[in-house]
Amino acid sequence: MKNTNFTLGMGTFRLQDQVAYDSVKMALEEGYRHIDTAQIYGNEAEVGQAIADSNTPRDELFITTKVWFEAFSEDKFIDSVKESLTKLKTDYVDLLLIHWPSPQDEVDMALYLNELKKSKEMGFAREIGVSNFTIAQTQQALDILGEDELFTNQIEVHPYLQNDKLVCFCQANGIQVTGYMPFAYGKVLANETLKTIAEKHEVSTAQLVIQWLSQRDIVTIPSSIKRKNLASNFEKVSIILSDADMKRIAELDCNDRQANPDFAPEWDASR
């Protein structure tokens, strides 16, 4: 793990306006220090205001945002990053990601990845990475940027979509995996197998899923608008899932992908 404040974060996808502000403020009050947003979420200003109003020291925070593909051109990329920083009320983000690879490779990957690297060199980002990149695209990114440049690949990971092949590829190449949508919009929280394992360990099903991800060395960024859930998700649980537990959870993988827009790349098989 490259940064201890990065281990568990709060996602802000779909959170808007006052709800986004309140949720981030509550998360920071409950101890979260990793906050994840994106240009396309339309909430960077609210996230930035909540962070500012929390009075949390900047060096304790790990702020992530993502560049949308409409800003991939050389004349738009850096300006879009500066705009994000203004909205977030910070001079830099800890992690700047490419949100999705360019649809149908309309923009050459070398161009926008070099703009990403330039953002880091200009001091606008401490670390850089990608999101929703397949194995082939991640390898291409490594070929363009070189080893040790990609901090993370942020991808969908939950018990119904375990993404083993991509996870293993990233980890073998020293790239931290960040798993988003850990609860698959709540679908996995109703799973009876997960409920049974959680009850055995005397934790909530959400805590079980977070622990399962942790034992796979995957950072995750659950989202909630309720303080109770934010606190429960962040709570450190003293459980270790056995090999038998992990095997039972592995059997739940059914390739049930939640984030699959029409511009998505051709996904790798989960296993």
Tokens found for residue 221:
């960024």
Catalytic residue among 32, 41, 160, 180: 41
Q: What is the 3-state secondary structure (H, E, C) of the chain?
A: CCCHHHCEEEECCCCCHHHHHHHHHHHHHCCCCEEECCHHHCCHHHHHHHHHHHCCCHHHCEEEEEECHHHCCCCCHHHHHHHHHHHHCCCCEEEEEECCCCHHHCCCHHHHHHHHHHHHHCCCEEEEEEECCCHHHHHHHHHHHCCCCEEEEEEECECCECCHHHHHHHHHCCCEEEEECCCCCCHHHHCHHHHHHHHHHCCCHHHHHHHHHHHCCEEECCCCCCHHHHHHHHCCCCCCCCHHHHHHHHCCCCCCCCCCCCCCCCCCCCC
Report how far residue 50's alpha carbon sits from residue 123's, in angstroms, rounded to the nearest whole number: 23
Tokens found for residue 115:
């703009």
Assess whether 112 carries a catalytic annotation.
no
Residues marked active site are found at 41
